Amino acid sequence: MTAHLAKHSYCTNWIGQYGDGERAMEKLSRQVGTSPAVLRDTYVHIVVDDDEWGQIQNFGALGA
């Protein structure tokens, strides 16, 4: 697991939980230290299917 992949997983999971509205993107961008534009272009542009989404959501969970 690289830091970049971990950041992708965190951002994707966070957007899945809190939505991708402008206020949510601004809050997330402050958390990860980048602009909303860079955040969209680099970290939350991934399209995943249901199985992949389940893996992302369970990343780091005990027993997963």
Q: Domain map of the chain by residue range?
A: 3-57
pLDDT number for residue 59: 76
CA-CA distance, 62 to 15, in Å (whole number)? 22
pTM, 2 dp: 0.59
CA-CA distance, 39 to 58, in Å (whole number)? 22
Structure tokens that stand for 37 in this block: 């534009």
Per-residue pLDDT tens digits for 44-63? 765 667 787 777 778 766 65
Helices 50-57, 3-18: crossing angle, 10 deg rounding: 100
